[in-house]
Structure 1
Amino acid sequence: MTGAFASIAGKEAVLNNLNIAAYEFGNRFNHDPDRPRRLLLHRDEINKLRVRVEQKGCTLVPLSVYIKRGLVKVELGICKGKKQVDKRETLRRKTADREAERAMKEVR
C-alpha cells in the first residue's frame, strides 16, 4: 500500500498505485495488478471527499484493505503532507532516539 492514493475525477473516485497481486494459479487472462481501480461510493460521499481534497495539501490515502463477504473493501483517510521543516524535525527525533537506544545497550 506504500505510495497508493485515491483521486476524484469527474463523478467517480479512483484508487491509484495499489498493487493487488494476480491470482497465483491463474493464466494469461489475469487482471493487471497495478491498474487504477474505480471505487464504489455514493454521489454524496464523492462530493464530500472532493470538497475536503480540494483544500490545500490534502489527499486521499487508503488506510486498510480487507475482504468482507467476498468484496474487497478499502478504508480511506484524508491527510495532509508534511512540510520540509516537519520532515527534518522527524529525522532529528529518529536519530536522537536511535542514539539513546545505543547508549542504553552499552550500559547493559
Structure 2
Amino acid sequence: MIDKPELSATALWLAPQEAGVIRIGFADDGRELLGPVTQVAWLVKSGNLELGTPFMTVKGAKDGLVLRTPFAGRIVRINTGLVDHPEWLDHRNDELDWLFDVVDD
C-alpha cells in the first residue's frame, strides 16, 4: 500500500461546485498507478479534516494507495456508491468518479 502525500495529490482532481463547495475526485494519475480498481474503503465519512488526513484507501490490480486530503475542510457529502462499485473509478466520468464534497469552514 502506497502512503505518500505527493502521490495522493496527483491522484485527485478538484472542481468547484456551488458557492464554497469543492468536489474531490479520482484522477487519471491514480488510475495509471493502480490499474483497475478492485476495492475502496472510507477511513472517514463526515466531519472536519485537516490537511493530509487519510480519508480513503483504494486498491487496484497493480497496487493500493492511501488518499489524503489536499486541504483542510469539512465533508458535506460523500459518494457512498463507490464501496459497492469501485469500478466507477476506472474511467474518467465526473458523475461517478467523485469522492466527496468539502467546504472550507
Which structure: greater helix fraction?
Answer: 1
Which structure: greater strand fraction?
Answer: 2
Work out which of the two has the higher radius of gyration on C-alpha atoms and give 1 or 2.
1
TM-score scaled to structure 1, two decimals?
Answer: 0.28
TM-score scaled to structure 2, two decimals?
Answer: 0.29
